[in-house]
Amino acid sequence: MKASWLQRTVAWIVRLMSFRRKFQRKVTLVMVGLDNAGKTATVRGIQGENPQDVAPTVGFSKVDLKQGKFEVTIFDLGGGKRIRGIWKNYYSESHGVVFVVDSSDVQRIQETRETMTEVLQHPRIAGKPVLVLANKQDQEGALAEADIIENLSLEKLVNENKCLCQIEPCSAVLGCGKKLDKSIKKGLNWLLSNIAKDYEAIAERVQKDTAEQRALEEQDKKERAERVRRIREERDRLEREEAE
């Protein structure tokens, strides 16, 4: 019995969707670094928006964009000390990391190294590809690439945590869209290319880690609700005793 026109059409659509899934992959990146490193300016430049006069990110911002065959989501995470604690909440769903360094802020290079170490050592980040953007190369006194590698102990750090790594000296504020700093374009292409090479394994890891994190969050939510219930019961008991 020959397949009907509808059956053939459905089969063709299914094949097309499978083909698109194969060649249009969804990738999530976390962009981290100290406050004032230039993370938001970098994201805006990638989007084609003016990277000048950017306000500090409070919490996080989410950006969705098309980059070649990739559908990319970037979580631009605030870099203030009080905010860095939320970074780990986004590690499980990330396929790769963009760590932005302020090359001109020599006084905070030790803090940058300590922060980067914490990020790359996290079990949900270790082993994933990392792009380091040595930003603000247009500033006077900015550290050169070799100096940043040395000050961050970058080679030792990525080897210990089995992370593929690329460092790109750049200036996020000097261009956007088609005029975006070529080093940022090169770095982003490198990151997406290396994610693509191991996409199935990374995606499987992301799915597993995300499921585990959601389960932990649900358990934590239940435990908080139980603590609140017990506190209320104890309060009601004390009020009853006082009334008696």
Q: Which residues are annotated as a binding site for Mg(2+)?
A: 40, 57
Q: How far apart are CA 11 and CA 3, in angstroms?
A: 10
Q: Closest Cα partner for 42 from 134, 115, 127, 116?
A: 134
**∠ CA 194-198-203 to the nearest 5 degrees?**
115
**Contact yes or no for 103/148 (Cβ under 8 A):** yes
Q: How far apart are CA 74 and CA 31, in angstroms?
A: 7
Which strand (E) or helix (H) includes residue 89?
none
**∠ CA 70-72-78 to the nearest 5 degrees?**
160
Token pair in block for residue 169:
């000296």
In the annotated binding site, the residues are: 33-40, 57, 79, 135-138
Single-letter code of the amino acid located at 121: Q
What is the DSSP pairing of strand 25-32 with strand 70-77?
Answer: parallel
Alpha-carbon distances, residue 166 vs 14, 33, 80, 183 (angstroms): 38, 15, 24, 11
Q: How far apart are CA 89 and CA 94, in angstroms?
A: 10
SS (H, E, C) 126-179: CCCCEEEEEECCCCCCCCCHHHHHHHCCHHHHHHHCCCCEEEEECCHHHCCHHH
In the annotated binding site for GTP, the residues are: 33-40, 79, 135-138
